Structure 1
Amino acid sequence: MDGMTRKQVDKAESRDFALGPGPLRPRDAATLILLDQEGGEIRVLMGRRHSRHAFMPGKFVFPGGRTDPADSRVPVAENLHPDEEAKLTGAPGRTSPARARAIAMSAIRETYEEAGLLIGRKGPFATAKPDWQGFADQGVQPSLEVLRFVARAITPPGRVRRFDTRFLAAWRSDVAVELADGGPTNELEELVWLPLGEAKEADVPTITRTVLDELEKRLTEDPLLRPGGAVPFYRMIRNRFVRDVL
């Protein structure tokens, strides 16, 4: 998508997003790319959104959603790795540590709510926040240290909904509990583990395919996804979609 004009992006995403006048300021959002390495092949968890949803109906996506600032106050077993926090809080557009923490925590919460996967480590956990009660019920302390910041993208103007989305990644081995019946919401109709190559060929939004391409390249260079890796950042500047590196 790098270098595409707004007209070209609108055409490419016309089946992904509802076009029309929307908010000028994008809202913070986070999504989690959960990876599983089995038999030398890397698979990624994706779910299909309900066809009735206004935002990306029927598309395969990663678990994720809008950031809740209150998530920053939920206790964790381990904080973000310093190199990852530096990437999340750095330029352009400085982000406070509390906001970065909320963004990262929302990716963990949404993965629980939509996929029934609790990322963290086993141990006593208590909270008064109902959105995190499942972690208390399962005895799981959420952990941010396992997350890797792998991409960022801001929805171009002219969409009914706009998000400033941070794409985070973790390994399936970082999941402390997998609920047999999935998560408590019905955001996703179907959850599947797809090889990276197949995931790019599925019915996914254009930006999702772009992020998968980026992640595949990073995994080729760094199979362990070490902290502090380069983060591609996609956004519209002067009527052209550009790729920067954080």
Structure 2
Amino acid sequence: METRTIPRTVIRPGYVHGYSEQESRRLGDQADTLAGLLHGGTAYPAGSRVLDVGCGVGAQTAHLVAAGPRAHIVGVDVSGHSLAQAGARLPGVTWCRADLFALPFADASFDHLFVCFVLEHLRAPRLALSGLRRVLRPGGTITVIEGDHGSAFFHPHSAYARAAIDCQVQLQSAAGGDALIGRRLQPLLTEAGYADVEVRPRTVYADGTRPALTEGFTRNTFVAMIESIRDEALAAGLITAPDLDRGLADLRRTAEDGGTFHYTFFKARAIRGDD
């Protein structure tokens, strides 16, 4: 088995997972399966102003609304296609198309910011966090959730499955992101000027006794994500087709009887102190 380093000229910058209907379904499966794990402890009071940064199709926004139905939630994303899906899903939310590096909101417009699975796709995540402080009022909170593909381990062990995951990590890196960013949240938020930064792991463990997690996360979220980059990984020359297909088969095996799968998300909370 051989893996190669990807030439950075091969991959275009942007959202490495794409905007297909399949990806929209995967995002929905992920949000619904992990709602309790990721959103536990996050609820916004009535009347508070909340900005969901990089909201995409609104998969996570739906759970913000459920936890804080009387909060005023604004979802912002660069993709008009994603926002159209989000608007159809949640007509009561205010949607705005904008680049998070040039948000069209006044200073201190929001009481709370929610940033989920966004920083991993950015070339300058610390700069993004610094810029977001402008629209957050002093004393307001920011919640950031990111994954870390280095935290994935599974049974039966497979070097081919590990290589398949590494293909996704390399593709995301070549697109300007970082699939290992979860471990960096504390220093990123601190360097961006936030105070009282607290980061806690949120771990997913799935085996045969947890069929909902095995189906919703292992199969429909994580393995589906790695399967989706097959053509791109082969086009970039990262791995041979037989080795990648074996890796994908071995990943699917972790969701079958006798298999196990572990992954850690990192959830951070911080405040904007007085400048």
TM-score by length of 1: 0.29
TM-score by length of 2: 0.27
Return the structure number with greater helix share. 2
Return the structure number with greater strand share. 1
